[in-house]
A and B are shown apart, each in its own frame.
Chain A
Amino acid sequence: KQEVTQIPAALSVPEGENLVLNCSFTDSAIYNLQWFRQDPGKGLTSLLLIQSSQREQTSGRLNASLDKSSGRSTLYIAASQPGDSATYLCAVGDSNYQLIWGAGTKLIIKP
Chain B
Amino acid sequence: EAGVTQFPSHSVIEKGQTVTLRCDPISGHDNLYWYRRVMGKEIKFLLHFVKESKQDESGMPNNRFLAERTGGTYSTLKVQPAELEDSGVYFCASSQEFSKQYFGPGTRLTVL
Contacts and interface: CB of A to CB of B under 8 A. Distances in A.
Report whether over half of chain B's contact residues are helix, strand or loop; otherwise say mixed.
strand
A43 B23 CA distance: 13
B35 A99 contact: yes
Interface residues of A, number: 22
A49 B42 CA distance: 19
B75 interface: no
B98 A89 contact: no
A69 interface: no
Contact of A43 (B45, B59, B91, B100): B91
Given A99-B45, A101-B42, A49 B103 contact: no
Given A36-B103, A43-B106, 5 more contacts: A31-B98, A34-B101, A49-B100, A96-B58, A97-B98
Report whether over half of chain A's contact residues are helix, strand or loop; otherwise say mixed.
strand
Interface of A: 4, 31-32, 34, 36, 42-46, 49, 89, 91, 96-104
B64 interface: no
A36 to B, nearest CB: 8
Given A46-B100, A101-B43, A101-B44, A96 B105 contact: no
